[in-house]
Chain A
Amino acid sequence: MANVRLINIDKTFNKNKVLSGLNLEVPDGSFMVMVGPSGCGKSTALRCIAGLEEVTSGTIMIGDKDVTHMEPKDRNIAMVFQNYALYPHMNVYDNITYGLKVRGIPADERKRRALEAAKLLGLDGLLERMPRQLSGGQRQRVAMGRAIVREPSVFLFDEPLSNLDANLRNQMRIELRRLHQRLATTSIYVTHDQVEAMTLAEKILVLRAGHIEQYGTPDDVYLRPASVFVAQFMGSPSMNIVRAKAEGGNIFLPDGTKLSGVQAADINISGRSGDILLGLRSEDLIFDPEGDIHVTVDIVEALGSDTLAYCRPLSANPEKQESSSVIVRLQGSQRPASGDVIRLTARKGHGHVFDTETQLRCL
């Protein structure tokens, strides 16, 4: 058990700055998810914590120990890899206990821990199998078993579920949660899947091009995204961002439409006037025959429980038609046809305002 602290971490690959000035504390026993688009440095950050990459500068602390220049094996961490990295020539039992064997832990102790982990992960009957005789989900469990038996102070997960099919992924996600509730070991988890991030995390770190875009609870990140990037990255479909104007406590679309649902006072920008970026999630645009926003339906995606309508605002600026298209989440039973004009209202009190220049949230 230990917290993890990153202090001013820089990482450069051949003059390519991958991480710059990362400062971060993962509290003891918490589950932290690093999320971001590919190439944002999340895997690199994880590998630096694991000790598989040397940081260019900065300090990594695990508990009270400065581990910056320690070998991975001395950091008391365990890692689960995306492609499982099981030893193909060892059976499940040997795979799970290899780390213990290398560390010279006696055979009966190894056996006790392996059986315990196998029971926890539902691997009881599989200990004699070879990795190639296992399904993807079982291999993933073996990889976790290998991490668990080490009883490390930190678990590191590098996109562990991304090789599994969708069903299995959902199931394993729940198992991971259960496991964490049981073991309460500090965990750092890397993924590019924002659903995984939202559901697993106690804390989410959104990374972009090597720096922290936002670090907070899932609710913080979803309900109060710190920037346009976070707003659009988290949540599916991604948040609609439209240009708007704030004036006298009201918000106007570029064509002059006054929004009745979103008032400046509701979203804490009473004092502000001028151009803003208005963020509206697809579920915060409500179908309303009396609504003040008119949009033309372009493409309709029926998801069963919901219908997603990709729409163009009627009077949008013709040059910027693409950027001002919006996605609306309708009820599953509502199926407008392509080309229909529908009317919407912004849900009262919902809406995010960002600065047009800095793209940061206006408080």
Chain B
Amino acid sequence: MVEKKGLGRALSHAVLLFGAAIVLFPLYVALVATSHSYDVLIGTTPLWFGQELIKNFTTVLTQGLKAAGGIPVWVMMGNSLIMALGIALGKIAISITAAYAIVFFRFRGRELCFVLIFITLMMPVEVRIVPTFQVAANLNFIDSYAGLILPLIASATATFLYRQMFMTIPQELLEAARIDGAGPWRFFVDVVLPLSRTNTAALFVVLFIYGWNQYLWPLLVTNQESMYTVVMGIQRMVNIPDAVPEWNLIMAVALLGMLPPLLVVLGMQKLFVRGLVETEK
């Protein structure tokens, strides 16, 4: 990387600060809104903090919004967490085993399997959402964690990424393991899994956020407030018939809802970046 000096350096910092300000401003507004009582927010957008920050956070965490069913936000966050973890871990488990089969086993129709998986990459989730709902309903998946997780658990993208990564593992490594006496399972656990550690971390971050941010599907598959997820819960709070939205509380929920993905990214940043840039072979 080129080290800049003097004016060039100041300029690049100015650009970066400007970019950061643009990104952070909405968050700042949300935080400020959280610190006021709801009547302050009707028709105005205050730009400085009020007195009720703690109170509002306590309210949403313990009681939730009365008008929107009164579910405490921690319940929704719990639901979101279960869904996001289920989707991320499930996708990883399914993709890594599928890719392992496609890359390391010789069987009839191997290429066909891969092509079929690959084709589903080209189809957006929304295309199949009605039939998926039908299936989920028939299986009694409405208002259950299985309903939130299972229909979203297959991932062509992750399978594809693992396949590409596995194909860079030298054939000799497999042969050395065969001679060492490791069967397919041993090879998977002792060699393939450790080698894909950084890729898995990167994928986990991406998939966790994907799962956490699910909106349309949870909206369809849950009816009871106790199964709401945070992201769709916010939408429910905004659209309450015959009531003024309590923006101070809604903003508090939005901020809380952003927290877990942020923590995941920060916690796995090191591995995440390595997984994206490094090949450890």
Contact = CB atoms under 8 A, between A and B. Distances in A.
B129 interface: no
Interface stretch (A70-78, A198-206, A335-343): A70-78
Contacts of B178: 51-52, 71-73
A166 interface: no
Contacts, number: 59
B176 A81 contact: yes
Nearest to B171: A85
Contacts of A146: 176, 180
Contacts of A82: 172
Nearest to A52: B175
A70 B280 CA distance: 33
Interface stretch (B18-26, B83-91, B114-122, B189-197): B189-197
B186 A81 contact: no
B170 interface: yes
Interface in B164-181: 170, 172-173, 175-181
A89 to B, nearest CB: 4
A81 B181 contact: no
A83 interface: yes
Given A85-B173, A89-B280, A79 B181 contact: no
A99 B175 CA distance: 12
B194 A72 contact: no
Contacts of B180: 73, 98-99, 102, 146, 150
Q: Which of B179, B186, B194, B195 has the most CB of A within 10 A?
A: B179
B179 A73 contact: yes
B179 A99 contact: yes
Contacts of B172: 81-83, 85
B17 to A, nearest CB: 39
Contacts of B9: none
Interface residues on A, range: 20 to 34
Nearest to B281: A88
Please classify the interface of chain A as helix (H, G, I), strand (E, B), loop, or mixed, using the class held by over half of its residues.
loop
B179 A50 contact: yes
Interface in A46-76: 50-52, 71-73
A95 to B, nearest CB: 9
B201 to A, nearest CB: 14
Nearest to B187: A102
Nearest to B186: A102
B182 interface: yes
A72 B174 CA distance: 12
Contacts of B186: 102
A331 B109 CA distance: 64
A220 to B, nearest CB: 32
Given A83-B170, A89-B195, A103 B181 contact: yes
B181 A102 contact: yes
Nearest to A82: B172
Contacts of A150: 180
A51 B179 CA distance: 9
Contacts of B177: 87
Q: Which of B175, B180, B186 has the most CB of A within 10 A?
A: B180
Contacts of B194: 89
A78 B179 contact: yes
A257 B115 CA distance: 71
A359 to B, nearest CB: 36
A344 to B, nearest CB: 48
Contacts of A77: 179
A78 B181 CA distance: 10
A85 B181 contact: no
Contacts of B175: 50, 52, 72, 79, 81, 85
B191 A87 contact: yes
A353 B232 CA distance: 90
A52 B180 CA distance: 12
Nearest to A50: B179
Contacts of A103: 181
Nearest to A158: B172
Contact of A72 (B179, B191, B280): B179
A360 B227 CA distance: 85
B195 A85 contact: no
Interface string A21-47: 000000000000000000000000000
Q: Which of B170, B175, B186 has the most CB of A within 10 A?
A: B175
22 contacts: A50-B175, A52-B179, A71-B178, A72-B178, A73-B180, A73-B182, A77-B179, A79-B176, A82-B172, A83-B170, A85-B170, A85-B173, A85-B175, A87-B177, A88-B281, A89-B194, A89-B195, A89-B197, A89-B280, A99-B180, A102-B181, A103-B181
A-B interface, 10 closest residue pairs, ranked by CB to CB distance from nearest: A99-B180, A85-B172, A73-B181, A85-B176, A89-B194, A102-B181, A81-B172, A72-B179, A72-B178, A102-B182
Given A52-B179, A73-B181, A146-B180, 8 more contacts: A52-B178, A72-B179, A73-B179, A83-B170, A88-B280, A88-B281, A89-B194, A150-B180
